[in-house]
């Protein structure tokens, strides 16, 4: 969202958030590995394919890495063509659709149907899409009624420190949802005052860029997640001070 809105650039956010993101992953991973040392690992039961249909390792790996590569290539597509990102995603979807049809062209029609992109699109969670549309419309209403700008002013006067404000937004995004919180933040602060790749946007991308179901999160890994979160945030702030 921040990238599409012009608040951050691809290379800028990689340089700013790569090391803090790795730290936020490695610190809780190291703690967990230490706590679980000596225990036997039990592999989960393998779930059989839908309707007993199977694909080869080559077919699975080809479609997986093509899908991953297309997602990674979207920023390059936008830079090269200057078209909106959704055009790159649709173009990549067309390539994936074509490749899927070619890979499974020799299968029977009934079997082939379950491996088509049309079948995959039927699995889209429409409820979630409607939820996000409603959230974004609500945030747009708050922005145009100047409630978000008033909230930003109140936070500046009450908290005072920009890094603390962003960390509060990041923690709140784990409770509410990261999409509306980022959208609200984009409405609270303008690109005129905070240009692309400003500290505010890059730190926000780190702090609010994670999404885990809240109740599962609190019950299972809230302590580990907070340790990783604050470790990465500390590295981000230290890195920013050293490089700026």
Q: What is the pTM of this model?
A: 0.67
The Cβ of residue 229 has, within 10 Å, a number of other Cβ atoms equal to 21
Q: How many CB atoms lie within 10 A of CB 113?
A: 13
Query: For the chain, what are the domain ranges?
Result: 1-33+124-244, 56-114
d(CA 207, CA 21): 10
Percentage of the chain beyond pLDDT 90 is 9
Which pLDDT tens digit goes with each residue over 5-44? 888 888 888 888 999 999 999 998 998 888 888 887 777 6
Residue 128 CB neighbours (<10 A):
10
For residue 49, what pLDDT band results from cuts at 50, 70 and 90? low
Supply the pLDDT for residue 160: 83
Digit-coded pLDDT (tens) for 164-208: 998 888 888 877 778 888 888 888 888 888 888 888 888 888 888
Residues 6+ apart with CB under 8 A from 8: 2, 196, 197, 201, 202, 205
Rg, C-alpha atoms of the chain: 22
Query: What spatial distance separates the first Cα and last Cα of the chain, rounded to whole Å?
Result: 25
* pLDDT over 70 percentage in the chain: 91
- Do 201 and 6 form a contact (C-beta atoms < 8 A)? no
């Amino acid at each position: 969202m921040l990238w599409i809105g012009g608040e951050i650039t691809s290379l800028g956010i990689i340089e700013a958030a790569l090391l803090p993101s790795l730290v936020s992953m490695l610190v809780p991973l190291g703690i967990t590995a230490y706590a679980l040392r000596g225990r036997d690992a039990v592999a989960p039961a393998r779930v059989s394919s839908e309707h007993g249909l199977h694909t080869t390792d080559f077919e699975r790996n080809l479609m997986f890495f093509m899908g991953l590569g297309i997602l990674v290539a979207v920023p390059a597509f936008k830079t090269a063509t200057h078209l909106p990102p959704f055009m790159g995603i649709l173009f990549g979807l067309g390539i994936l659709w074509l490749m899927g049809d070619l890979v499974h062209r020799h299968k029977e029609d009934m079997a082939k149907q379950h491996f088509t992109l049309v079948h995959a699109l039927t699995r889209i969670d429409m409820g979630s899409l409607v939820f996000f549309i409603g959230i974004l419309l609500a945030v747009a209403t708050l922005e145009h009624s100047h409630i978000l700008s008033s909230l930003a002013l109140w936070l500046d006067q009450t908290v005072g420190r920009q890094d603390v404000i962003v960390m509060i937004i990041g923690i709140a995004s784990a409770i509410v949802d990261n999409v509306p919180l980022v959208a609200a933040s984009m409405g609270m602060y303008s690109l005129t005052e905070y240009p692309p790749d400003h500290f505010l946007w890059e730190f926000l991308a780190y702090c609010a860029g994670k999404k885990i179901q809240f109740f599962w999160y609190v019950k299972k890994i809230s302590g580990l997640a907070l340790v990783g979160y604050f470790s990465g945030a500390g590295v981000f702030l230290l890195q920013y001070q050293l490089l700026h």
